[in-house]
Amino acid sequence: MSKFTFTETKIKDLYIIEPTVFGDNRGYFMETYSDTAFKEAGLDYVFVQDNQSSSRRGVLRGLHFQKTYPQAKLVRVIKGEVFDVAVDLRKDSETYGEWFGILLSEENKKQFLIPRGFAHGFLVTSDYAEFVYKCDDFYHPEDEGGLLWNDENIGIEWPEVGQIILSEKDKKHPKLKESNFSF
């Protein structure tokens, strides 16, 4: 029996993954990744890089993707809470341009598997959050791509958190209709 529950979202290949948490009066234990369990679920990835970031309330990171070296990501929150979003950028997909969002937190311990061909971003909804993720390809800074976080044609329904805090780079991303890339 798998120690994970794999739930495909309304967008093909985009999964919510819930680990089995074993808890007692000492705390808890859980596996966060198992190559065998993921492959048995049809999710055959080889992760090559782990990343971690910390952010304060209102920080929005995204919507990011790699143009030539796309990355699949397995993301989760180890402290605090974020609203995590993936946007389907696969040109031949029936759900091209559609988004899916999920609340990830240290309490719910959910993970989000985002395959290649998606833009990804998150908004911190708690006072502070630590975000960790695995990637199936290395980061190439010269290959960065992005979409404007509030593109009305995508229509992401971001939670209300007060002031949104963006990097200068994220303020300048194009809208989906203005971007020049293909997956």
Nearest to 2 by CA among 13, 23, 17, 24: 17
With beta carbons less than 8 A apart as the criterion, state whether 130 and 53 touch: yes
Place of tokens 């979202």: 9
173 noted as active-site residue? no
List 133, 139, 140, 173, catalytic entry: 133
Strands (E), 30-98: 49-56, 60-66, 73-79, 81-88
Angstrom distance (rounded) from CA 100 to CA 156: 8
Q: How far is CA 11 from CA 98, 113, 114, 140, in A?
A: 8, 12, 10, 27
45 noted as active-site residue? no
List 45, 64, 120, 173, catalytic entry: 64
Which tokens is 72 given? 């699949």
Angstrom distance (rounded) from CA 19 to CA 15: 13
Active-site annotation, residues: 64, 133
